[in-house]
Amino acid sequence: MGGFAKLGINLPLLISFIISFVILFALLGLFLYKPVMKMLDERSKRIKEGMEQAEATKEEYAHAEEEVKKLISKARDDGQALVNQATQTGERLREEAREGARKEAQVIVDRTRAELEGERDRIIDDLRREFVDISISAAEKVIMETLDKERHRKLIEEALEESATFREN
């Protein structure tokens, strides 16, 4: 023991320190190391789960953002299709209205033309009758005797029809 004393080391005290250190190390290993390691493992696990959850949330957000963009694009396309359809419907209705107006105008023109032709034919018939009457009256005055009016009228009408046929050809 003499050598340790010369160095200034008290051997019984050193042994008691070593035994105390080993007991303290065993107690710390038994009671403190395992709970601290367990707590650190749990914390590491929570951090890892948080990171995974954050990554999943980020992917979910990206997916939701894509879906929103697709929905907006689809809504824009649907809106454009509705605008185009409304424009086409408007054009079709406008064209149908024009066509209806044209047909109605044509019906009015045809009806008016038919009425005018009927009126013209009636006026021509009236003029023929008057001409026949005037011709008979003139012929009576020229001949100075009265002819059979019916027979004379027939002759003049035949002459007028022949002249009308010649004019048409």
Whole-model pTM over 0.85: no
Q: Which tens digits make up the pLDDT trace of 58-69?
A: 999 999 999 999
* CA distances for 62 relative to 49, 51, 74, 149, angstroms: 20, 16, 18, 110
Q: What is the pLDDT of residues 113-169, one digit of tens each?
A: 999 999 988 888 888 787 777 777 666 666 644 557 777 777 777 777 776 665 555
Q: How far, in Å, CA of 127 to CA of 156, rounded?
A: 13
For the stretch 70-122, pLDDT in tens is 999 999 999 999 999 999 999 999 999 999 999 999 999 999 999 999 998 88
pLDDT average, residue stretch 28-39: 85
Q: How far apart are CA 113 and CA 92, in angstroms?
A: 31
The DSSP call for residue 8 is: T
Look at the chain and report how many structural domains it folds into.
1
Domain span including residue 123: 2-168
The rounded distance, in Å, linking the Cα atoms of 111 and 105 is 10
DSSP-assigned states of every residue in 98-143: HHHHHHHHHHHHHHHHHHHHHHHHHHHHHHHHHHHHHHHHHHHHHH
Tell me which residue of 123, 129, 119 sits closest to 160, measured CA to CA: 129
Burial letters 95-125, b for 16+ CB under 10 A, else e:
eeeeeeeeeeeeeeeeeeeeeeeeeeeeeee
